[in-house]
Amino acid sequence: MEQENSTAESKGKIFLISNMWPDEESPGYGSFVKNLTDGFVNNGLEIVNRALIIGRPSLKFEKLKSYFGFFRQIIKGFSHGGFDLIYIHFPNQAIPILKFLYLFKHPKLIVNYHGEDLLYEKKGYLGFLGKMTDKFVSKNAFRIVVPSEYFKKIVDERGIIDAHKIIVSPSGGISEDIFYPSESFIPKTFSKENPMRIGYVGRLEPGKGIFSLLNAISELTSSGFPFKATIIGYGTLEQDVKDFVKMDKYSGNVTYIPRMPQKDLGEVYRNLDLLIFPSIAESLGLTGIESMACGTPVIGSNARGIATYLRDGYNGFQISPEHPSEIVEKIMKYADLTPEQKIKMRENCISTGRKYYSKHVCDELSLTLNSLIND
């Protein structure tokens, strides 16, 4: 009993800061932050203070209002204390406030980079914030968490922190209760009666390569190749996708779904033959991993985080960003595989996806955090 009490007392207390957190309207917005936080709690870590922006405000006034509330939460949580460390996701927007607060005390700080917060534009307001963050993190961060080896290399080369203080942890991983393969898989030959099912899941933003997918769909339609496409996502390019789907020549072949809860995505992946993931820049790209865990190969960009797990011809196919003709070429290449080759690729996908299950990812990072807190 004494040993159990000692273990319980060693669990750490965290002040969580993130300007991304999902809600019903934006279920995918920061879902990986929530998943990782849930994993911490399941491993005995306690979230004693939170500063969050919940949902994705669209109007300028709403954004301004949400950030004022966010800053107030940071000040309140910092002043309240009672935590062992601050764990911050997407640090750039919060650093100006923390920079002021750290004039008074210096709690342990762990910074989790995800994407644009590290690969920020060098000029203008974002460049100013990014450089301020680099300097502050270099001086105050106890550890830096990044989603992939690709990002670890960037942090190391930029000299923000010593390499041994960089932790690679894939953004909370994926749920094995949602993303698992179907029990039966029968490779098929594609025809009008049995078209290939391709899909896209993700935000509809310029950097996500959605126009490359739409151009590829146009090429497939012109070629007469039998397919059905499903596009799931939301963002600033939502109207462009709606207008595309409404065109007569795509009627019945292309379906657009603006939003879908994460718990329903597993069934989507299991009903696809291929996921198209043409994103120009991803720190890791959990979407591709989710698809693989369901047994569905991925056609994805050969850039940055995606390339750390997507192997050409092994668990999918790599393409150059913004090259829709390559998407079509790799779709045809998959269609030409023998049944045995399709089965083998599916097995490789499942094997890859299982490495990223949340329990393993969160257990490992939670253990590291507890160790750092106790040290």
The pTM assigned to this predicted structure is 0.81
Q: Say which residue, 372 or 292, is predicted with more confidence.
A: 292
Tens digits of per-residue pLDDT, 239-274? Answer: 999 999 999 888 889 999 998 988 999 999 999 999
pLDDT at 10: 54
Runs of H (alpha helix) within the chain: 2-9, 31-42, 60-80, 95-101, 124-140, 149-158, 210-223, 238-246, 265-270, 286-293, 324-335, 339-354, 358-374
pLDDT at 29: 84
Q: What secondary structure letter does DSSP report for 371?
A: H
- The CATH 3.40.50.2000 domain(s) of the chain lie at 2-173+358-374, 196-354
Q: Is the pLDDT of residue 8 over 70?
A: no
pLDDT at 9: 46
**CATH architecture under which domain 196-354 falls:** 3-Layer(aba) Sandwich (3.40)
Report the Cα–Cα distance between both ends of the chain, in Å, rounded: 23
According to DSSP, the β-strands at 13-21 and 46-54 are parallel
- Place 27 in a pLDDT band, splitting at 50, 70 and 90: confident
Q: Say which residue, 50 or 62, is predicted with more confidence.
A: 50
Q: Say which residue, 7 or 74, is predicted with more confidence.
A: 74
User: Mean pLDDT across the stretch 39-56?
Assistant: 94
Q: Is the pLDDT of residue 6 over 70?
A: no
User: Mean pLDDT across the stretch 155-165?
Assistant: 95
Distance, CA of 277 to CA of 284 (rounded, Å): 12
Residue type, 186: I
Q: Is the pLDDT of residue 303 over 90?
A: no
Tens digits of per-residue pLDDT, 92-145? Answer: 999 999 999 999 999 999 999 988 889 888 889 889 999 999 999 999 999 999
- Please give the mean pLDDT across all residues of the chain: 92
Give the SS3 label for residue 310. Answer: coil
Q: Is the pLDDT of residue 308 over 70?
A: yes
- Place 3 in a pLDDT band, splitting at 50, 70 and 90: very low
Beta-bridged to residue 276, according to DSSP, are 299
pLDDT at 119: 87
Q: Say which residue, 27 or 321, is predicted with more confidence.
A: 321
- Place 283 in a pLDDT band, splitting at 50, 70 and 90: confident
Task: State the CATH class of domain 2-173+358-374.
Answer: alpha beta
User: Considering the chain, what percentage of its residues have pLDDT values greater than 70?
Assistant: 97
Residue 84 burial by Cβ neighbours in a 10 Å radius (0-12, 13-18, 19+): buried
User: Considering the chain, what percentage of its residues have pLDDT values greater than 90?
Assistant: 76
pLDDT at 4: 41
Element of type H or E holding 145: strand 143-146
